[in-house]
Amino acid sequence: AGMSSTKFFHRLGLLPGASPSQVKSAYHKLALTCHPDTHPDDPDANQRFMDLKQAMEDAQAMAGGSEQPRDLVKLGVDLSTFS
């Protein structure tokens, strides 16, 4: 059961039709609030972060971003923190 297209944007606090740059900006702000490295005592932080990451990727794809939606390196995310 996947999210409808508008739910990806709503998960990021955006309206459908947001630009790719708005998607990235919203993602970066929200990622800080649930990143497992910044909330080591929260057992649900990793799942919330992964859900947020998926919403960002899907919203980015729907927004028609020039970036490849699943390329987090281009979004400035340090992938070494997730391994």
Please, are residues 53 and 72 in contact by the beta-carbon 8 Å criterion?
yes
CA distance 31 to 76: 12
CA distance 30 to 24: 10
Q: Per-residue pLDDT tens for 46-77?
A: 999 999 999 888 888 887 754 444 455 455 55
Q: Per-residue pLDDT tens for 70-83?
A: 455 455 555 555 54
The pTM is what?
A: 0.65
CA distance 45 to 2: 21
Radius of gyration for the chain, computed over Cα atoms and rounded to the nearest angstrom:
12
CA distance 64 to 37: 30
